[in-house]
Structure 1
Protein backbone atom coordinates (compact mmCIF):
# COMPACT_ATOMS: atom_id res chain seq x y z
CA UNK A 1 0.00 0.00 0.00
CA UNK A 2 1.25 3.53 -0.76
CA UNK A 3 2.85 5.47 2.08
CA UNK A 4 2.42 8.77 0.29
CA UNK A 5 -0.68 10.31 -1.24
CA UNK A 6 -0.58 10.65 -5.02
CA UNK A 7 -4.28 10.94 -5.78
CA UNK A 8 -6.55 7.97 -6.30
CA UNK A 9 -8.49 6.28 -9.07
CA UNK A 10 -11.51 8.44 -8.23
CA UNK A 11 -9.82 11.70 -7.27
CA UNK A 12 -7.66 13.95 -9.46
CA UNK A 13 -5.37 16.00 -7.22
CA UNK A 14 -2.98 18.78 -8.20
CA UNK A 15 0.72 18.40 -7.43
CA UNK A 16 0.52 21.15 -4.80
CA UNK A 17 -2.35 19.40 -3.03
CA UNK A 18 -0.59 16.02 -3.02
CA UNK A 19 2.56 17.61 -1.59
CA UNK A 20 0.59 19.45 1.10
CA UNK A 21 -1.22 16.27 2.18
CA UNK A 22 2.07 14.42 2.50
CA UNK A 23 3.70 17.26 4.45
CA UNK A 24 0.77 17.36 6.90
CA UNK A 25 1.04 13.59 7.39
CA UNK A 26 4.82 13.81 7.90
CA UNK A 27 4.52 16.67 10.40
CA UNK A 28 1.56 14.96 12.14
CA UNK A 29 -0.47 18.16 11.95
CA UNK A 30 -4.13 18.67 11.00
CA UNK A 31 -4.63 19.60 7.35
CA UNK A 32 -7.04 22.52 6.93
CA UNK A 33 -8.63 22.63 3.48
CA UNK A 34 -10.53 25.58 2.06
CA UNK A 35 -11.96 26.21 -1.41
CA UNK A 36 -15.20 27.14 -3.07
CA UNK A 37 -18.02 24.56 -3.05
CA UNK A 38 -17.50 21.73 -5.50
CA UNK A 39 -13.71 21.69 -5.46
CA UNK A 40 -13.53 18.29 -3.75
CA UNK A 41 -12.69 19.27 -0.17
CA UNK A 42 -14.81 16.58 1.46
CA UNK A 43 -13.92 13.94 -1.15
CA UNK A 44 -10.22 14.49 -0.44
CA UNK A 45 -10.44 12.67 2.90
CA UNK A 46 -11.97 9.59 1.23
CA UNK A 47 -9.29 9.72 -1.47
CA UNK A 48 -6.51 9.89 1.12
CA UNK A 49 -8.03 6.99 3.07
CA UNK A 50 -8.39 4.90 -0.11
CA UNK A 51 -4.88 5.68 -1.32
CA UNK A 52 -3.23 4.90 2.02
CA UNK A 53 -5.45 1.92 2.83
CA UNK A 54 -6.91 3.42 6.01
CA UNK A 55 -10.37 3.61 7.53
CA UNK A 56 -12.20 6.93 7.22
CA UNK A 57 -14.11 8.40 10.17
CA UNK A 58 -16.32 11.39 9.34
CA UNK A 59 -17.38 14.02 11.87
CA UNK A 60 -20.02 16.20 10.19
CA UNK A 61 -20.09 19.54 12.01
CA UNK A 62 -23.40 21.38 12.43
CA UNK A 63 -24.31 24.76 13.91
CA UNK A 64 -25.20 23.05 17.20
CA UNK A 65 -22.08 20.86 17.38
CA UNK A 66 -19.88 21.18 20.46
CA UNK A 67 -16.33 19.94 20.81
CA UNK A 68 -17.50 17.63 23.58
CA UNK A 69 -19.69 15.78 21.06
CA UNK A 70 -16.58 14.54 19.30
CA UNK A 71 -14.99 13.22 22.49
CA UNK A 72 -17.73 11.28 24.26
CA UNK A 73 -21.34 11.45 25.44
CA UNK A 74 -22.50 10.34 28.88
CA UNK A 75 -26.05 9.03 28.55
CA UNK A 76 -27.29 10.03 31.99
CA UNK A 77 -30.93 9.78 30.88
CA UNK A 78 -30.58 6.09 29.94
CA UNK A 79 -28.80 5.39 33.22
CA UNK A 80 -31.61 7.05 35.19
CA UNK A 81 -34.18 5.07 33.20
CA UNK A 82 -32.36 1.80 33.90
CA UNK A 83 -32.09 2.57 37.61
CA UNK A 84 -35.82 3.26 37.86
CA UNK A 85 -36.64 -0.11 36.31
CA UNK A 86 -34.02 -2.03 38.25
CA UNK A 87 -31.96 -3.05 35.23
CA UNK A 88 -28.71 -4.83 36.00
CA UNK A 89 -25.33 -3.12 35.60
CA UNK A 90 -26.55 0.40 36.31
CA UNK A 91 -23.53 0.96 38.59
CA UNK A 92 -21.18 0.41 35.65
CA UNK A 93 -20.81 3.97 34.34
CA UNK A 94 -18.75 2.78 31.37
CA UNK A 95 -21.92 1.26 29.88
CA UNK A 96 -23.31 4.76 29.45
CA UNK A 97 -20.24 6.34 27.90
CA UNK A 98 -20.36 6.50 24.09
CA UNK A 99 -17.29 7.73 22.24
CA UNK A 100 -17.69 10.47 19.65
CA UNK A 101 -15.90 10.57 16.31
CA UNK A 102 -12.67 11.96 17.77
CA UNK A 103 -12.84 9.35 20.52
CA UNK A 104 -13.32 6.62 17.90
CA UNK A 105 -10.27 7.85 15.99
CA UNK A 106 -8.15 7.87 19.14
CA UNK A 107 -9.31 4.39 20.17
CA UNK A 108 -8.72 2.73 16.80
CA UNK A 109 -6.06 0.01 16.84
CA UNK A 110 -4.71 1.18 13.49
CA UNK A 111 -4.19 4.68 12.16
CA UNK A 112 -7.34 6.18 10.61
CA UNK A 113 -8.19 9.26 8.58
CA UNK A 114 -10.46 11.61 10.55
CA UNK A 115 -12.47 14.14 8.54
CA UNK A 116 -13.83 17.11 10.51
CA UNK A 117 -16.16 18.43 7.85
CA UNK A 118 -17.21 22.11 7.63
CA UNK A 119 -15.71 23.21 10.92
CA UNK A 120 -16.81 26.79 10.32
CA UNK A 121 -20.49 25.83 10.75
CA UNK A 122 -20.02 25.59 14.52
CA UNK A 123 -19.63 28.54 16.89
CA UNK A 124 -16.32 30.36 17.22
CA UNK A 125 -15.35 28.50 20.39
CA UNK A 126 -15.50 25.11 18.70
CA UNK A 127 -12.02 25.16 17.07
CA UNK A 128 -10.40 26.51 20.24
CA UNK A 129 -12.08 23.82 22.33
CA UNK A 130 -10.42 21.18 20.15
CA UNK A 131 -6.89 22.58 20.46
CA UNK A 132 -5.86 20.57 23.53
CA UNK A 133 -7.15 17.27 22.18
CA UNK A 134 -5.64 17.76 18.73
CA UNK A 135 -2.30 18.80 20.22
CA UNK A 136 -2.02 16.16 22.93
CA UNK A 137 -4.06 13.45 21.23
CA UNK A 138 -5.84 12.62 24.47
CA UNK A 139 -8.83 13.60 26.59
CA UNK A 140 -10.11 12.87 30.09
CA UNK A 141 -13.47 11.32 31.02
CA UNK A 142 -14.26 12.49 34.56
CA UNK A 143 -17.23 10.11 34.95
CA UNK A 144 -14.91 7.09 34.71
CA UNK A 145 -11.67 8.86 35.74
CA UNK A 146 -10.03 7.58 32.58
CA UNK A 147 -7.82 9.26 30.01
CA UNK A 148 -8.35 8.24 26.39
CA UNK A 149 -5.04 8.44 24.53
CA UNK A 150 -4.61 7.97 20.80
CA UNK A 151 -3.19 4.52 20.09
CA UNK A 152 -2.20 5.78 16.65
CA UNK A 153 -2.21 9.48 15.79
CA UNK A 154 -4.95 9.86 13.16
CA UNK A 155 -4.49 11.76 9.92
CA UNK A 156 -6.78 14.73 10.53
CA UNK A 157 -8.33 16.58 7.59
CA UNK A 158 -10.47 19.62 8.36
CA UNK A 159 -12.62 21.40 5.77
CA UNK A 160 -13.97 24.94 5.88
CA UNK A 161 -16.18 26.90 3.50
CA UNK A 162 -14.83 30.16 4.96
CA UNK A 163 -18.23 31.11 6.38
CA UNK A 164 -16.42 32.29 9.52
CA UNK A 165 -12.84 33.23 10.30
CA UNK A 166 -11.09 30.58 12.35
CA UNK A 167 -9.06 31.59 15.44
CA UNK A 168 -5.37 32.34 14.90
CA UNK A 169 -4.36 29.89 17.64
CA UNK A 170 -6.14 27.13 15.75
CA UNK A 171 -4.68 28.13 12.38
CA UNK A 172 -1.13 28.07 13.77
CA UNK A 173 -1.50 24.37 14.53
CA UNK A 174 -2.66 23.41 11.02
CA UNK A 175 -1.09 22.92 7.63
CA UNK A 176 -3.24 24.96 5.23
CA UNK A 177 -4.17 24.46 1.59
CA UNK A 178 -6.64 26.32 -0.61
CA UNK A 179 -7.99 24.18 -3.45
CA UNK A 180 -8.16 26.40 -6.49
CA UNK A 181 -11.00 25.77 -8.92
CA UNK A 182 -9.65 23.37 -11.57
CA UNK A 183 -8.34 24.73 -14.84
CA UNK A 184 -10.01 23.34 -17.95
CA UNK A 185 -7.31 20.71 -18.53
CA UNK A 186 -7.58 19.37 -14.97
CA UNK A 187 -11.38 19.47 -15.16
CA UNK A 188 -11.25 17.31 -18.27
CA UNK A 189 -9.19 14.77 -16.33
CA UNK A 190 -11.80 14.85 -13.55
CA UNK A 191 -14.56 14.21 -16.09
CA UNK A 192 -12.66 11.22 -17.46
CA UNK A 193 -12.78 9.73 -13.97
CA UNK A 194 -16.58 10.05 -13.94
CA UNK A 195 -17.17 9.30 -17.62
CA UNK A 196 -14.72 6.98 -19.26
CA UNK A 197 -16.43 6.78 -22.65
CA UNK A 198 -17.77 10.27 -23.37
CA UNK A 199 -17.83 11.56 -26.92
CA UNK A 200 -14.85 13.89 -27.37
CA UNK A 201 -16.90 16.68 -28.93
CA UNK A 202 -19.39 16.58 -26.05
CA UNK A 203 -16.56 16.94 -23.54
CA UNK A 204 -15.03 19.92 -25.38
CA UNK A 205 -18.34 21.73 -25.96
CA UNK A 206 -19.67 21.19 -22.46
CA UNK A 207 -16.41 22.36 -20.86
CA UNK A 208 -16.31 25.45 -23.06
CA UNK A 209 -19.92 26.30 -22.14
CA UNK A 210 -19.32 25.59 -18.45
CA UNK A 211 -16.29 27.91 -18.14
CA UNK A 212 -17.98 30.57 -20.23
CA UNK A 213 -20.93 30.43 -17.83
CA UNK A 214 -18.70 30.71 -14.77
CA UNK A 215 -17.15 33.87 -16.22
CA UNK A 216 -20.46 35.42 -17.27
CA UNK A 217 -20.92 38.77 -15.57
CA UNK A 218 -23.83 38.83 -13.15
CA UNK A 219 -23.76 35.16 -12.17
CA UNK A 220 -24.01 35.05 -8.37
CA UNK A 221 -23.65 31.31 -7.74
CA UNK A 222 -21.14 29.90 -10.15
CA UNK A 223 -21.71 26.26 -11.08
CA UNK A 224 -19.36 23.81 -9.40
CA UNK A 225 -17.68 20.58 -10.44
CA UNK A 226 -20.50 18.41 -9.09
CA UNK A 227 -23.03 20.46 -11.07
CA UNK A 228 -20.95 20.05 -14.22
CA UNK A 229 -20.95 16.27 -13.72
CA UNK A 230 -24.73 16.30 -13.22
CA UNK A 231 -25.17 18.51 -16.29
CA UNK A 232 -23.20 16.15 -18.51
CA UNK A 233 -25.28 13.25 -17.21
CA UNK A 234 -28.37 15.25 -18.18
CA UNK A 235 -26.95 15.96 -21.65
CA UNK A 236 -26.23 12.27 -22.20
CA UNK A 237 -29.63 11.20 -20.86
CA UNK A 238 -31.35 13.77 -23.07
CA UNK A 239 -29.38 12.75 -26.15
CA UNK A 240 -28.27 16.35 -26.74
CA UNK A 241 -26.23 16.96 -29.88
CA UNK A 242 -22.91 18.65 -28.89
CA UNK A 243 -23.45 21.21 -31.66
CA UNK A 244 -26.55 22.45 -29.80
CA UNK A 245 -24.40 23.45 -26.81
CA UNK A 246 -22.63 26.06 -28.98
CA UNK A 247 -25.94 27.94 -29.36
CA UNK A 248 -27.64 27.41 -25.99
CA UNK A 249 -27.28 25.86 -22.54
CA UNK A 250 -29.70 22.92 -22.43
CA UNK A 251 -31.03 22.00 -18.99
CA UNK A 252 -29.58 25.19 -17.53
CA UNK A 253 -31.35 24.54 -14.25
CA UNK A 254 -28.89 21.73 -13.54
CA UNK A 255 -26.03 24.26 -13.55
CA UNK A 256 -27.69 27.40 -12.20
CA UNK A 257 -29.73 27.36 -9.00
CA UNK A 258 -30.90 30.98 -8.71
CA UNK A 259 -33.67 32.75 -10.60
CA UNK A 260 -31.48 35.79 -11.12
CA UNK A 261 -28.69 33.68 -12.65
CA UNK A 262 -31.11 32.00 -15.05
CA UNK A 263 -32.44 35.43 -16.07
CA UNK A 264 -28.87 36.64 -16.65
CA UNK A 265 -28.29 33.64 -18.93
CA UNK A 266 -31.51 34.26 -20.88
CA UNK A 267 -30.39 37.80 -21.70
CA UNK A 268 -27.31 36.57 -23.54
CA UNK A 269 -28.45 33.22 -24.96
Structure 2
Protein backbone atom coordinates (compact mmCIF):
# COMPACT_ATOMS: atom_id res chain seq x y z
CA UNK A 1 0.00 0.00 0.00
CA UNK A 2 2.99 2.32 -0.51
CA UNK A 3 2.11 5.81 -1.71
CA UNK A 4 4.42 7.59 -4.14
CA UNK A 5 2.17 10.32 -5.51
CA UNK A 6 -0.03 10.13 -8.60
CA UNK A 7 -0.08 11.53 -12.11
CA UNK A 8 -2.20 14.39 -10.73
CA UNK A 9 -0.35 14.97 -7.45
CA UNK A 10 3.38 15.58 -7.01
CA UNK A 11 4.41 14.31 -3.57
CA UNK A 12 7.87 15.06 -2.19
CA UNK A 13 9.95 12.22 -0.75
CA UNK A 14 9.31 13.52 2.78
CA UNK A 15 5.56 13.53 2.21
CA UNK A 16 5.64 10.02 0.75
CA UNK A 17 7.57 8.80 3.80
CA UNK A 18 5.08 10.49 6.15
CA UNK A 19 2.04 8.94 4.45
CA UNK A 20 3.55 5.46 4.39
CA UNK A 21 4.79 5.74 7.99
CA UNK A 22 1.30 6.73 9.22
CA UNK A 23 -0.22 3.77 7.34
CA UNK A 24 2.35 1.37 8.81
CA UNK A 25 1.94 2.70 12.35
CA UNK A 26 -1.87 2.81 11.96
CA UNK A 27 -1.94 6.33 13.33
CA UNK A 28 -3.76 9.40 12.00
CA UNK A 29 -1.60 11.52 9.70
CA UNK A 30 -1.77 15.17 10.77
CA UNK A 31 -0.90 17.42 7.82
CA UNK A 32 -0.15 21.10 8.30
CA UNK A 33 0.94 23.70 5.78
CA UNK A 34 -0.06 26.96 4.16
CA UNK A 35 -3.58 27.09 2.69
CA UNK A 36 -3.50 25.96 -0.92
CA UNK A 37 -0.53 23.57 -0.62
CA UNK A 38 -2.57 20.45 -1.43
CA UNK A 39 -3.43 19.07 2.02
CA UNK A 40 -7.01 18.13 1.15
CA UNK A 41 -6.01 16.95 -2.32
CA UNK A 42 -3.54 14.54 -0.69
CA UNK A 43 -6.41 12.52 0.79
CA UNK A 44 -8.27 12.52 -2.54
CA UNK A 45 -5.23 11.33 -4.48
CA UNK A 46 -4.28 8.77 -1.82
CA UNK A 47 -7.76 7.24 -2.08
CA UNK A 48 -7.47 7.19 -5.87
CA UNK A 49 -4.01 5.58 -5.81
CA UNK A 50 -5.13 2.86 -3.38
CA UNK A 51 -8.43 2.32 -5.19
CA UNK A 52 -10.48 2.81 -2.03
CA UNK A 53 -13.31 5.04 -0.79
CA UNK A 54 -12.76 8.57 0.49
CA UNK A 55 -15.00 9.67 3.35
CA UNK A 56 -14.71 13.42 3.88
CA UNK A 57 -15.62 15.25 7.08
CA UNK A 58 -15.22 18.99 6.54
CA UNK A 59 -15.00 20.75 9.90
CA UNK A 60 -16.68 24.08 10.65
CA UNK A 61 -16.54 26.33 13.71
CA UNK A 62 -19.87 24.86 14.89
CA UNK A 63 -18.94 21.20 14.32
CA UNK A 64 -19.05 18.91 17.37
CA UNK A 65 -17.16 15.65 17.72
CA UNK A 66 -20.41 13.78 18.41
CA UNK A 67 -21.59 14.59 14.88
CA UNK A 68 -18.77 12.46 13.51
CA UNK A 69 -20.09 9.47 15.44
CA UNK A 70 -23.87 9.81 15.19
CA UNK A 71 -26.79 12.10 15.98
CA UNK A 72 -30.15 11.22 17.48
CA UNK A 73 -32.96 12.88 15.50
CA UNK A 74 -35.46 13.47 18.32
CA UNK A 75 -37.45 16.00 16.27
CA UNK A 76 -38.28 13.47 13.55
CA UNK A 77 -39.26 10.88 16.15
CA UNK A 78 -41.59 13.36 17.86
CA UNK A 79 -43.19 14.25 14.52
CA UNK A 80 -43.68 10.60 13.60
CA UNK A 81 -45.23 9.86 17.00
CA UNK A 82 -47.74 12.65 16.43
CA UNK A 83 -48.60 11.14 13.05
CA UNK A 84 -48.95 7.63 14.51
CA UNK A 85 -46.02 6.20 12.51
CA UNK A 86 -44.96 2.71 13.66
CA UNK A 87 -41.31 3.63 13.09
CA UNK A 88 -41.26 5.40 16.45
CA UNK A 89 -41.08 2.07 18.30
CA UNK A 90 -37.55 1.47 17.00
CA UNK A 91 -35.22 4.24 18.16
CA UNK A 92 -32.62 3.00 15.68
CA UNK A 93 -34.70 4.57 12.89
CA UNK A 94 -33.68 7.98 14.24
CA UNK A 95 -29.96 7.44 14.62
CA UNK A 96 -28.10 9.35 11.88
CA UNK A 97 -24.67 7.87 11.20
CA UNK A 98 -21.71 10.24 11.16
CA UNK A 99 -18.56 10.12 9.06
CA UNK A 100 -16.60 8.01 11.56
CA UNK A 101 -19.41 5.46 11.72
CA UNK A 102 -19.45 5.31 7.91
CA UNK A 103 -15.69 4.75 7.89
CA UNK A 104 -15.95 2.05 10.57
CA UNK A 105 -18.58 0.19 8.53
CA UNK A 106 -16.62 0.25 5.24
CA UNK A 107 -15.51 -3.12 3.91
CA UNK A 108 -12.41 -1.97 2.06
CA UNK A 109 -9.96 0.07 4.11
CA UNK A 110 -11.19 3.62 3.43
CA UNK A 111 -9.51 6.99 3.68
CA UNK A 112 -11.15 9.17 6.33
CA UNK A 113 -10.39 12.87 5.82
CA UNK A 114 -10.98 15.16 8.81
CA UNK A 115 -10.47 18.47 7.03
CA UNK A 116 -9.37 21.68 8.78
CA UNK A 117 -9.67 20.35 12.33
CA UNK A 118 -8.36 23.64 13.72
CA UNK A 119 -11.61 25.40 12.75
CA UNK A 120 -13.51 23.62 15.52
CA UNK A 121 -13.64 24.26 19.25
CA UNK A 122 -10.40 23.61 21.17
CA UNK A 123 -11.97 20.55 22.84
CA UNK A 124 -12.95 18.96 19.52
CA UNK A 125 -9.70 16.97 19.01
CA UNK A 126 -9.71 15.68 22.59
CA UNK A 127 -13.32 14.53 22.22
CA UNK A 128 -12.20 12.16 19.44
CA UNK A 129 -9.16 10.70 21.23
CA UNK A 130 -10.75 7.42 22.32
CA UNK A 131 -12.61 6.81 19.06
CA UNK A 132 -9.53 7.39 16.86
CA UNK A 133 -7.33 5.36 19.21
CA UNK A 134 -9.57 2.36 19.89
CA UNK A 135 -11.57 2.58 16.63
CA UNK A 136 -14.84 2.01 18.45
CA UNK A 137 -17.60 3.92 20.23
CA UNK A 138 -20.84 3.26 22.09
CA UNK A 139 -24.35 4.30 20.99
CA UNK A 140 -26.23 4.94 24.23
CA UNK A 141 -29.69 5.20 22.65
CA UNK A 142 -29.51 1.68 21.18
CA UNK A 143 -26.95 0.20 23.63
CA UNK A 144 -24.84 -0.77 20.61
CA UNK A 145 -21.06 -0.85 20.36
CA UNK A 146 -19.74 0.15 16.94
CA UNK A 147 -16.31 -1.32 16.13
CA UNK A 148 -14.38 -0.64 12.93
CA UNK A 149 -14.33 -3.61 10.55
CA UNK A 150 -10.93 -2.44 9.33
CA UNK A 151 -8.92 0.49 10.65
CA UNK A 152 -9.39 3.39 8.21
CA UNK A 153 -6.44 5.48 7.05
CA UNK A 154 -7.09 8.80 8.77
CA UNK A 155 -5.82 12.05 7.23
CA UNK A 156 -6.28 15.18 9.38
CA UNK A 157 -5.52 18.62 7.97
CA UNK A 158 -4.87 21.87 9.81
CA UNK A 159 -4.13 25.42 8.66
CA UNK A 160 -2.49 26.18 12.01
CA UNK A 161 -5.23 28.64 13.03
CA UNK A 162 -5.02 27.36 16.61
CA UNK A 163 -2.84 25.01 18.62
CA UNK A 164 -3.97 21.41 18.96
CA UNK A 165 -3.91 19.62 22.35
CA UNK A 166 -0.76 17.68 23.27
CA UNK A 167 -2.71 14.50 24.01
CA UNK A 168 -4.12 14.60 20.49
CA UNK A 169 -0.74 15.34 18.88
CA UNK A 170 0.82 12.35 20.68
CA UNK A 171 -1.51 10.02 18.83
CA UNK A 172 -0.75 11.40 15.36
CA UNK A 173 2.09 11.12 12.89
CA UNK A 174 2.89 14.72 11.94
CA UNK A 175 4.06 16.23 8.68
CA UNK A 176 4.38 19.86 7.62
CA UNK A 177 4.13 20.44 3.88
CA UNK A 178 6.92 22.87 3.04
CA UNK A 179 6.12 25.35 0.31
CA UNK A 180 7.40 23.99 -3.01
CA UNK A 181 10.73 25.17 -4.35
CA UNK A 182 10.72 26.71 -7.86
CA UNK A 183 11.81 23.33 -9.26
CA UNK A 184 9.05 21.46 -7.43
CA UNK A 185 6.54 24.14 -8.43
CA UNK A 186 7.51 23.66 -12.06
CA UNK A 187 6.72 19.94 -11.72
CA UNK A 188 3.32 20.76 -10.20
CA UNK A 189 2.52 23.24 -12.97
CA UNK A 190 3.55 20.69 -15.62
CA UNK A 191 0.82 18.37 -14.30
CA UNK A 192 -1.84 21.05 -14.81
CA UNK A 193 -0.41 22.70 -17.94
CA UNK A 194 1.66 20.12 -19.84
CA UNK A 195 1.73 22.28 -23.00
CA UNK A 196 2.55 25.59 -21.37
CA UNK A 197 5.33 27.47 -23.17
CA UNK A 198 8.55 27.38 -21.20
CA UNK A 199 9.20 31.12 -21.50
CA UNK A 200 5.76 31.99 -20.11
CA UNK A 201 6.21 29.46 -17.29
CA UNK A 202 9.65 30.80 -16.40
CA UNK A 203 8.47 34.41 -16.28
CA UNK A 204 5.31 33.50 -14.36
CA UNK A 205 7.23 31.52 -11.74
CA UNK A 206 9.75 34.36 -11.40
CA UNK A 207 6.98 36.92 -10.84
CA UNK A 208 5.12 34.57 -8.48
CA UNK A 209 8.08 33.96 -6.18
CA UNK A 210 9.00 37.66 -6.23
CA UNK A 211 5.53 38.46 -4.93
CA UNK A 212 5.85 35.77 -2.24
CA UNK A 213 9.15 37.35 -1.17
CA UNK A 214 7.56 40.77 -0.58
CA UNK A 215 8.00 41.45 3.17
CA UNK A 216 4.89 42.13 5.19
CA UNK A 217 2.31 40.34 3.04
CA UNK A 218 -0.69 39.24 5.12
CA UNK A 219 -1.41 36.29 2.83
CA UNK A 220 1.23 35.03 0.46
CA UNK A 221 -0.08 33.56 -2.80
CA UNK A 222 -0.26 29.76 -2.71
CA UNK A 223 0.04 26.94 -5.21
CA UNK A 224 -3.68 26.95 -5.98
CA UNK A 225 -3.56 30.70 -6.68
CA UNK A 226 -0.61 30.24 -9.03
CA UNK A 227 -2.60 27.61 -10.96
CA UNK A 228 -5.57 30.01 -11.20
CA UNK A 229 -3.29 32.83 -12.37
CA UNK A 230 -1.68 30.67 -15.05
CA UNK A 231 -5.12 29.60 -16.23
CA UNK A 232 -6.02 33.27 -16.68
CA UNK A 233 -2.74 34.08 -18.43
CA UNK A 234 -3.39 31.28 -20.92
CA UNK A 235 -7.06 32.18 -21.37
CA UNK A 236 -6.21 35.86 -22.00
CA UNK A 237 -3.23 34.91 -24.18
CA UNK A 238 -0.88 37.10 -22.15
CA UNK A 239 2.63 37.06 -23.72
CA UNK A 240 5.69 36.36 -21.55
CA UNK A 241 6.94 39.88 -22.28
CA UNK A 242 4.01 41.31 -20.31
CA UNK A 243 5.43 39.68 -17.17
CA UNK A 244 8.86 41.25 -17.60
CA UNK A 245 9.83 44.68 -16.31
CA UNK A 246 11.27 46.75 -19.16
CA UNK A 247 13.77 48.66 -17.03
CA UNK A 248 14.85 45.83 -14.75
CA UNK A 249 12.89 47.29 -11.85
CA UNK A 250 9.89 45.83 -10.05
CA UNK A 251 6.67 45.69 -12.03
CA UNK A 252 3.03 44.89 -11.33
CA UNK A 253 2.15 41.68 -13.23
CA UNK A 254 -1.13 41.46 -15.17
CA UNK A 255 -4.16 39.91 -13.45
CA UNK A 256 -2.38 40.05 -10.08
CA UNK A 257 -5.79 39.97 -8.37
CA UNK A 258 -5.63 36.19 -8.77
CA UNK A 259 -2.55 36.14 -6.53
CA UNK A 260 -3.21 38.81 -3.90
CA UNK A 261 -6.46 38.36 -2.00
CA UNK A 262 -6.88 41.39 0.28
CA UNK A 263 -6.63 45.13 -0.14
CA UNK A 264 -3.79 45.58 2.39
CA UNK A 265 -1.52 43.27 0.41
CA UNK A 266 -2.44 44.93 -2.89
CA UNK A 267 -1.72 48.42 -1.50
CA UNK A 268 1.56 47.22 0.03
CA UNK A 269 2.67 45.59 -3.21
CA UNK A 270 1.75 48.63 -5.32
CA UNK A 271 3.56 50.93 -2.88
CA UNK A 272 6.74 48.84 -2.94
CA UNK A 273 6.68 48.70 -6.76
CA UNK A 274 6.20 52.47 -6.93
CA UNK A 275 9.10 53.08 -4.51
CA UNK A 276 11.34 50.66 -6.46
CA UNK A 277 10.69 52.62 -9.68
CA UNK A 278 11.68 55.97 -8.23
TM-score, normalised with respect to structure 2: 0.94
CA offset digits 1:6-46 (Å, max 9, x no partner): 00111101000001100000010000000011111111100
- Partner of 1:98, secondary structure, is strand
- Partner of 1:32, secondary structure, is strand
Distance (whole Å) between structure 2 residues aligned to residue 7 and residue 86 of structure 1:
55
Where do 1:223-262 residues align within 5 Å? Answer: 223-247=221-245, 248-262=252-266
- Partner of 2:126, secondary structure, is helix
Distance (whole Å) between structure 1 residues aligned to residue 263 and residue 76 of structure 2:
49
Question: How far does residue 191 in structure 1 lie from its aligned partner after superposition?
Answer: 0.4
Tell me the equivalent position of 2:249. none
Gaps of 5+ in 2: 246-251
- Partner of 1:42, secondary structure, is helix
- Partner of 2:231, secondary structure, is helix
Tell me the equivalent position of 1:182. 180
Report the aligned-residue RMSD. 0.9
Tell me the equivalent position of 1:163. 161
2:212 to 211, 214, 223: 214
Where do 1:59-70 residues align within 5 Å? Answer: 59-70=57-68
**Structure 1 residue ranges, 4+ long, deviating more than 3 angstroms after superposition:** none
Distance (whole Å) between structure 1 residues aligned to residue 20 and residue 215 of structure 2:
38
Distance (whole Å) between structure 1 residues aligned to residue 82 and residue 7 of structure 2:
54
- Partner of 2:89, secondary structure, is coil
Question: How far does residue 151 in structure 1 lie from its aligned partner after superposition?
Answer: 0.3
Question: How far does residue 258 in structure 1 lie from its aligned partner after superposition?
Answer: 1.6
Distance (whole Å) between structure 1 residues aligned to residue 241 and residue 51 of structure 2:
43
CA offset digits 1:214-237 (Å, max 9, x no partner): 001232211011110010111111
- Partner of 2:114, secondary structure, is strand
Number of residue pairs the alignment of both structures matches: 267
Distance (whole Å) between structure 2 residues aligned to residue 105 and residue 4 of structure 1:
21
CA offset digits 1:91-141 (Å, max 9, x no partner): 011111111001100011111000000111111111001000001100000
Distance (whole Å) between structure 1 residues aligned to residue 217 and residue 117 of structure 2:
27
Tell me the equivalent position of 2:192. 194
1:85 to 2:83 alignment? yes
Question: How far does residue 142 in structure 1 lie from its aligned partner after superposition?
Answer: 0.9
